[in-house]
Amino acid sequence: MAAGDVLLSVHDVWQKLGDAQILQGLDFEVKDRVRPGVVTGQVVGLLGPSGVGKTRLLRLIAGLDQPDRGSVTGPDGVALPVGRVGFVFQSYPLLAHRTVLDNLCVAGEANGLSSSESRSKALALLDRFRLSERARYFPAQLSGGQRQRVAIAQQLVKQKTFLLMDEPFSGLDPAALEDVTKLIIEVANMDELNTVVLVTHDIRSALLISDTLLMLGRDRDDKGRVISGAHIQKIYDLVQMGLAWRPDLEMAPDFPAIERQVKQIFKVL
């Protein structure tokens, strides 16, 4: 792969649920981001109001659902293989009767690794994610932030190129929020082709960690009424705007203006 090569293509995607048109003519691409001398994955933020179809789009990318029309393809132009896509659901579902370590080992074995490989990978990830001391804990004994880290690690026991995250910032206190944003960036940058796509309502957090921001919304008629069928209303290339990969971005003089702009657009999606 080279800079600018397409890693994910969503083309003319339509989907209904019952009689309701959820997505309509949805198009976007995720391209390989390259920085000389730095391993750089992709972080794509997907913003939109509740019920607009964000989670539905993640399910299409993951291959859990199929579009009524259109295509979702990877860099080779075919549908993404299930084994290349990890999905961290908002509820962080873990096996309640298994320890943290066992949850990761089960995930590894389910993805074709031997028990020894799974255990080795699991222990390394727990160490990397600062969870080693919680290896023998059960999910109910963990904080929300810890459960989230375990859920992310679980998806990485067998390396995934794409990691999809549904509302990763929801319900976190400021300290946990900072930890999770750092973790998402770390996961993306573990490999040049890693791509994290996250759905969120947290505009500030999305701006701080994304290199691309997608705004999913519905059109309105001349009376301001919502028209069914969401599509991408606006794309922010934060790299081109000089707003990506900056640890001090929140303090930058141009940050408040872009945050206000995104908030204004969000109100009418």
The token pair at 215 is 């705004």
Question: What are 45-80's pLDDT values in tens digits?
Answer: 999 999 999 999 999 999 999 999 999 999 888 888
Checking if the pLDDT of 224 tops 80, the result is: yes
**Dist. CA 191–CA 141, nearest whole Å:** 32
Question: What are 26-40's pLDDT values in tens digits?
Answer: 999 999 999 989 999
Q: Do residues 7 and 193 lie in contact, with contact meaning Cβ atoms separated by under 8 Å?
A: yes
Mean pLDDT of 231-253: 93
Residue 131: phi, psi to the nearest 5? -125, 5
Q: Do residues 78 and 68 lie in contact, with contact meaning Cβ atoms separated by under 8 Å?
A: no
Burial of residue 8 (number of CB atoms within 10 Å: 0-12, 13-18, 19+) = buried
The token pair at 20 is 């309701």
pLDDT for residue 7: 94
Q: Which residue has the higher pLDDT, 155 or 84?
A: 155
Rounded to two decimals, the pTM is 0.91
Checking if the pLDDT of 231 tops 90, the result is: yes
The amino acid occupying position 83 is: G
Share of the chain above pLDDT 70, in %: 99
Q: Identify the CA nearest to 207 among candidates 43, 8, 42, 5.
A: 43
Residue boundaries of the structural domains of the chain: 6-266
The CATH number of the structural domain formed by 6-266 is 3.40.50.300
Average pLDDT, the chain: 91
DSSP state of 39: -
Least confident of 177-181, 204-208, 238-242: 177-181
Question: What are 115-165's pLDDT values in tens digits?
Answer: 999 999 999 999 988 899 999 999 999 988 888 889 889 988 987 889 999
Checking if the pLDDT of 1 tops 70, the result is: no
**Dist. CA 188–CA 198, nearest whole Å:** 11
Which band of pLDDT confidence, cut at 50, 70 and 90, is reported for residue 179? confident
pLDDT for residue 22: 96
Question: What are 184-218's pLDDT values in tens digits?
Answer: 999 999 999 899 999 998 999 999 999 999 999 99
Q: Identify the CA nearest to 55 among candidates 87, 20, 21.
A: 87
